[in-house]
Structure 1
Amino acid sequence: MSIDPSSIPNFGGQPKPQQAQGPAGAVVPDQDLVKQLLDQMELKYGVDEEGDLVAPWEEFRTYFMFRGEEDQAVFSVRTFYDRPHAMESKAQILDAIDDWNRRTLWPKVYTHTHEDEDGTATVRLIGEAQTLIGTGVLLEHFVSSTVSWVRAAIEFDRWLVEHLGLVEDVDSAEKPEDEG
């Protein structure tokens, strides 16, 4: 079966032929480029045992990972939210992240059942955004996407705290007992 070229919609002009190494002005991002970007954003970061860059926040960690080979290479920004949620609240958590995933582009958030040191199972959340980079991307696009993904990871944590009413828990934990 072949596709009739005339059946493909034209969204503004004829496509321009691109060379095999990617579009003009494209770069293939690497870890050094991400380090420069994180430095410009004034974010603290380190390298984990797998060689991935990681930027820690108080309630989560964001990893900047490169996976795959050549034209299939992927850049992923993955955030692991450290706040544990009880297994009994999983349905409420799923409703919340379904709402987030419907209304936003990134990060796409999913659950992970985690066994704590004491053997208790809890629900943890992971957010992720990724893009193919193997054939190259425009530097401006890579930078703006990465910055947007980091900001959205932070925003998700704030949104979840407000959405689930965790603000009261945080506020009450900060008050001295005699103010009650």
Structure 2
Amino acid sequence: MSIDPSSIPNFGGQPEPQPSGPDGPVLPDQDLVKQLLDQMELKYVVDDEGDLAAPWEQFRTYFMFRGEEEQQIFSVRTFYDRPHGIDDKPKLLEALDDWNRRTLWPKAYTHTHDDGTVRLIGEASMLIGTGVALEHFVSSTVSWVRASIEFDKWIVEQLGLEADAEGEGDEKPGDAEA
């Protein structure tokens, strides 16, 4: 079932979004993201599945395109590498609930591995299949990367992991080796 865009009410009398620039919306792709990461001076790699990843000391941020044509989604997903025990999961969930209530992105959640290790993941996504304004794509992607970094700092503070993080604050984002 699909929703007819014309059936969605226009609340507040706001004008319909106009195409950006003379060429209108763009269809972002991996090359556009690479250009953006280069401009941000972030190192990146392409993994075995063809996704872009920017590695940091304690996490990796992936820039992924999923779906077909008009349903394609661009997702910035960050995998935080600090392992947590299964007994810590209630405390983690409480912290994540607090983060998710207070912020727009990244939405953070847990993943429990078969060995009982719990890791954190942050994610933000946008529908891009019909095209998006270049300025919106760029500003959203940059904001999501910055928020992923801020989340790492925040969770370290919330969980009292400062001892694990000593010396990491001087690292420039993307300086970690892949």
Structures share fold, TM-score greater than 0.5: yes
Residue type of the partner of 1:162? E
Give the AA of the match of 1:74: I
Structure 1 distance, partners of 2:38, 2:157, is 30
Q: TM-score, normalised by structure 1?
A: 0.81
Is 1:155 the counterpart of 2:150 in the alignment?
A: yes
Other-structure match for 1:178:
none
Structure number with greater CO (CA < 8 Å, separation at least 6) is 2
Q: Which amino acid aligns with 2:148?
A: A
1:139 to 134, 137, 140: 134
C-alpha distance in 1 between matches for 2:82 and 2:154? 13
Note closer, same or farther for the CA distance 1:10–1:123 as it changes in structure 2 (3 Å cut): closer
* Structure 1 residues 138 and 152, CA gap change in structure 2 (3 angstroms): same
Aligned-partner Cα distance in 2 for 1:162–1:107: 17
Secondary structure, aligned partner of 1:151: helix
For 1:132 and 1:27, how far apart are their aligned partners in 2? 12
Residues 1:101 and 2:100 aligned together:
yes
Cα distance in 2, alignment partners of residues 113 and 65 from structure 1:
22
Deviation digits for residues 6-28 of structure 1 (CA, Å, limit 9, x no counterpart): x9464225547x89xxx962100
Secondary structure of the 2:91 match is helix
Q: Deviations over 1:61-109 (max 9, x none)?
A: 0000001111100000000000001111100000000000000000001
The gaps in structure 2 that reach 5 residues or longer are 1-5, 167-178
How far did residue 170 of structure 1 move?
A: 4.0
Counterparts of 1:95 and 1:42 in 2: how far apart (Å)? 34
List 4+ stretches of structure 1 deviating above 6 A.
none
* Secondary structure, aligned partner of 1:66: strand
RMSD: 2.4
Alpha carbons of 1:156 and 1:10: their partners in 2 closer, same or farther (altered >3 Å)? Answer: closer
Q: Name the CA shift for 1:138/1:15 in 2 (closer, same or farther; >3 Å).
A: closer
Residue identity (%): 72
Aligned length: 159
The structure with the larger Rg is 1
